[in-house]
Amino acid sequence: MQKHVLILGGGFGGLAAANELKVNLPDVKITIIDKKDYFMMDLVKLWIIKGTRQFETSKRPLKSVTKKGIDFVNEVAVTIDTSQKKVRTETREFSYDYLIIAAGVELAPEKIPGLSENSMILYDLEHVGKIRQKILQTKSGKLAFAITGMPYKCPPAPFEAALIISSMLKELKTRDSVLIDFYSLAPITLPAAGPDVSKQLLEILESEKIKFHGNRKITSVEQNLLKFEDGSTEKFDLLIAVPPHKAPKVIYDSNFAQQGQFISVKRDCKTEFENVYAIGDVTTMMVTDKIAVPKAGIFAEGQGVAVAHDIIAQIKKERTDMVFDGRGGCFVEMGSTAGYVYVDMFAQPNPITRLDRPAQEHMREKEQFENERLAKWL
């Protein structure tokens, strides 16, 4: 009887898993369910701010997977019934033999009073074009960046945005009249990358006259005013924020995680339910008691491939001890150049991280990274 692998989410993890499965198990039925009808890497949002990309020319239709023999359903998953091995959308029901939850995260600015009304949300596609227009119109004042919730996806992205915008203001010859301050819940810039890489990134920010303020928890935002947990306040003229994140509603409704949490998994990405895996941003995978695998596309991709090979081995009745290797990295773009943060999360005795110095070749590698995956997956 034909096996059915159902995948919730057509992002990095879902697409990587689907393609790996189809290449190795051409006779297995694979279905991707996603509320979006397109795929676009989040890194493109930074290029929209820069003005080098447009959304309409950067997105790819998820229905393109059908040419590979993978089914695509453009709907929202509303319930997951693990006892019956069924997933329900708003209009129909799907049975599965294996389920991969790759549903990503949703933005939750409503968790910080006043954030939605008084900021531009960096990860919101509807806001990135507006951020560009605001920057082009800015002549002077204070620009504030704020990380208001952790964990958040693509940890270097807010710092990339600050560096890119600093570069834009230089080109506009208004940089000297604009203060840029960066506020974060964390004590250092990139906790998951460790103190050394965080110090290197801090030095890059300082060299661009971007002032980093760690351990600053924002409790509310008013018009042109940030309010912090310690009772202090800071004024701003434009606020670009990273809001708290949450899992999609179906995850909480189906008891995969408590409200406000993510699906807890180990390196095999298996949940407590039979033949159900969870990968990517929707998960929490702890490395130590304090450090988790970052929410980043490259890690979702690696988890998707690992899970695919575990399913392949099961269907072929082969032994497997496949686990996610924890290796990957993220580019740190800054104008016309980019650095590269390399991470080996499960290296012993401690995670290995390094930041390669900014170079134009890393910008080319970032574009190649996008092109290769689009060509492979879609």
| DSSP structural state of residue 295 | B
pLDDT of residue 290: 87
**pLDDT surpassing 90 at residue 372:** yes
**pLDDT surpassing 90 at residue 358:** no
Tell me the torsion sign for CA atoms 199, 205, 208, 210. negative
**pLDDT surpassing 90 at residue 78:** yes
**Least confident interval from 4-8, 171-175, 234-238, 285-289:** 285-289
What percentage of the chain has pLDDT greater than the value 90?
93
Tell me how far apart the alpha carbons of residues 356 and 334 are, in angstroms, rounded to a whole number. 13
pLDDT of residue 334: 85
Which pairing describes strands 178-184 and 283-284: parallel, antiparallel, or unpaired? unpaired
Question: What's the token pair of residue 1?
Answer: 């009887």
83-128 pLDDT tens trace: 999 999 999 999 999 999 999 999 999 999 999 999 999 999 999 9
Within 10 Å of residue 42's Cβ, how many Cβ atoms?
Answer: 17
Tell me how far apart the alpha carbons of residues 279 and 290 are, in angstroms, rounded to a whole number. 20
Query: Three-class SS string for 143-191?
Result: EEEEECCCCCECCCHHHHHHHHHHHHHHHCCCHHHEEEEEEECCCCCCH
pLDDT band of residue 141 (cuts 50, 70, 90) is: very high
Tell me how far apart the alpha carbons of residues 177 and 139 are, in angstroms, rounded to a whole number. 7
What percentage of the chain has pLDDT greater than the value 70?
100
Residue ranges of the chain assigned to CATH 3.50.50.60: 4-105+247-326, 115-244
Q: Quote the mean pLDDT of the chain.
A: 96
pLDDT band of residue 54 (cuts 50, 70, 90) is: very high
For 115-244, CATH number? 3.50.50.60
pLDDT of residue 236: 98
**Least confident interval from 110-114, 148-152, 175-179, 319-323:** 319-323
**pLDDT surpassing 90 at residue 357:** no
Mean pLDDT to the nearest integer, 28-48:
96
Question: What's the token pair of residue 11?
Answer: 């992002």
**pLDDT surpassing 90 at residue 284:** yes
Mean pLDDT to the nearest integer, 342-361:
91
For 4-105+247-326, CATH number? 3.50.50.60
pLDDT band of residue 190 (cuts 50, 70, 90) is: very high
**pLDDT surpassing 90 at residue 319:** no
Cα-based distances in Å from 223 to 64, 211, 238: 44, 22, 10
**How many Cα atoms are found within 13 Å in the side-chain-facing hemisphere of 152?**
26
